[in-house]
Amino acid sequence: MSYLEALGLKKEPFSTSPDPAFFYRSSIHRAALARLEIAIRLKRGLSIILGDIGTGKTTLARTLLKSFKEEDPFEFYMIFDPSVQRESQFLALLCDLFKIKPLRQTTVHYKRAIQNFLFEKNLSDHKTIVLMIDESQKLSPALLEVLRIFLNYETNDTKLLQLVLFSQMEILPKLLSLENFYDRIGFKYILRPLSLIELQEMIQYRLHQAGWPEGQELFTAQAIERIWHYSDGRLRQVTQLCHQTLLKMVMHEESQVKEPMVEEIVHEEEAFLNAQHDTRREVTQAY
Ligand SMILES: Nc1ncnc2c1ncn2[C@@H]1O[C@H](COP(=O)(O)OP(=O)(O)O)[C@@H](O)[C@H]1O
Ligand SMILES: [Mg+2]
């Protein structure tokens, strides 16, 4: 019997994929989502969401997309990984994304085609163009400069490109050194790790979404406290720990995830990491 069947669940509650159906609206994520929506609706130009790995940036991006659905006049475009080297590659990628064909494949023509696209879409078709870039810490200063030029296109009261960057914290020094870019940020927000109470609610929420009946505690309060302690409230670590402890619970034919199971998983992980160090040391000594 699978672990889902054993628990009577419809879906996997702690998958690590960024599925909006499992997006718990913590105070942090709710505020980020609401303020991003406002920035886009008011056409404020540049917004930036920062957060360490696993704090929920990609899930937030997908949830934002879903919250606008196909709503007119918004057109969303998303780049999941902007790790291209050259300016011309980045411009070609944008042209592909916007489905526009420049007259010639030079940076000047690419830029002109994108400029025309933004003016036409906004002023003739009355659309709002939203470009979201995940993993934005990978954008080089040259590519940020390209984006800055597009952010300059504006009418008297609105910007023609709504740009939302989702990035790890390491982008911050880069942004601070590009004063012209930094000055254009209309909305910036850091996704901080969750508090213990919100983490508890998030776990209940995900279980409920997966089909677990309300009112039944699958994780004891002590187990959740340990998960919070070891994950530092970061959601990727939380989902992984929850998944592994649930598996352990099913294998041991228990009915609740308890504190010792969390400890066991954490120790197993530590032992695994130490074994890697030991193997590396042995290999080095052998040479
Ligand atoms: N608001 C949220 N509620 C519930 N789970 C979340 C939330 N945000 C993220 N997660 C979960 O945390 C994990 C990491 O999220 P992700 O968006 O990939 O983080 P990041 O992009 O910051 O590295 C995923 O398993 C995702 O399902
Ligand atoms: Mg991500």
- pLDDT tens for 8-25 read 899 999 998 989 999 999
Residue 10 lies in a domain: no
Does ligand 1 come within 6 angstroms of the Cβ of 29?
Answer: yes
Q: Lowest mean pLDDT: which of 92-101, 232-241, 267-276?
A: 267-276
Residue 120 lies in a domain: yes
Residue 4 lies in a domain: no
Spacing, Cα 278 to ligand 2 middle (Å):
31
Spacing, Cα 42 to ligand 2 middle (Å):
26
Instruction: Mark whether 139 and 243 lie in a shared domain.
Output: no
Domain extent for 65: 27-190
95-118 confidence digits (pLDDT tens): 999 999 999 999 999 999 999 999
Residue owning tokens 């940036």: 57
Instruction: Using the atom order of ligand 1, give the atom closest to the CA of residue 15.
Output: 25
The residue among 173, 190, 207 that closes a domain is 190
Instruction: Mark whether 60 and 145 lie in a shared domain.
Output: yes
What is the total count of domains within the chain?
2
Residue 17 lies in a domain: no
Spacing, Cα 61 to ligand 2 middle (Å):
9
The residue among 165, 190, 215 that closes a domain is 190
The residue among 163, 190, 217 that closes a domain is 190
pLDDT at 252 over 70: yes
DSSP string, 232-282: TT-HHHHHHHHHHHHHHHHHTT-SSB-HHHHHHHHHHHHHHHHHHHHHHHH
Does ligand 1 come within 6 angstroms of the Cβ of 88?
Answer: no
> Burial, 36: exposed, middle or buried (Cβ in 10 Å; 0-12, 13-18, 19+)?
buried
For ligand 1, atom 6, the nearest C-alpha belongs to 23
The bound ligand whose nearest atom lies closest to the alpha carbon of 62 is 1
For ligand 1, atom 25, the nearest C-alpha belongs to 16
For ligand 1, atom 15, the nearest C-alpha belongs to 56
Spacing, Cα 169 to ligand 2 middle (Å):
12
pLDDT at res. 1: 59
Please count the CA atoms within 13 angstroms of the CA of 25 that sit on its side-chain side: 7
Does ligand 1 come within 6 angstroms of the Cβ of 57?
Answer: yes
Pairwise pLDDT comparison (50 vs 279), residue with the higher score: 50
Cα distance between residue 222 and residue 129, in whole Å: 47
Supply the CATH number for residue 176's domain: 3.40.50.300
Does ligand 1 come within 6 angstroms of the Cβ of 203?
Answer: no
The bound ligand whose nearest atom lies closest to the alpha carbon of 17 is 1
Instruction: Mark whether 46 and 76 lie in a shared domain.
Output: yes
202 SS3 class: helix
Supply the CATH number for residue 206's domain: 1.10.8
Cα distance between residue 167 and residue 57, in whole Å: 8
Residue 44 lies in a domain: yes
Instruction: Mark whether 104 and 172 lie in a shared domain.
Output: yes
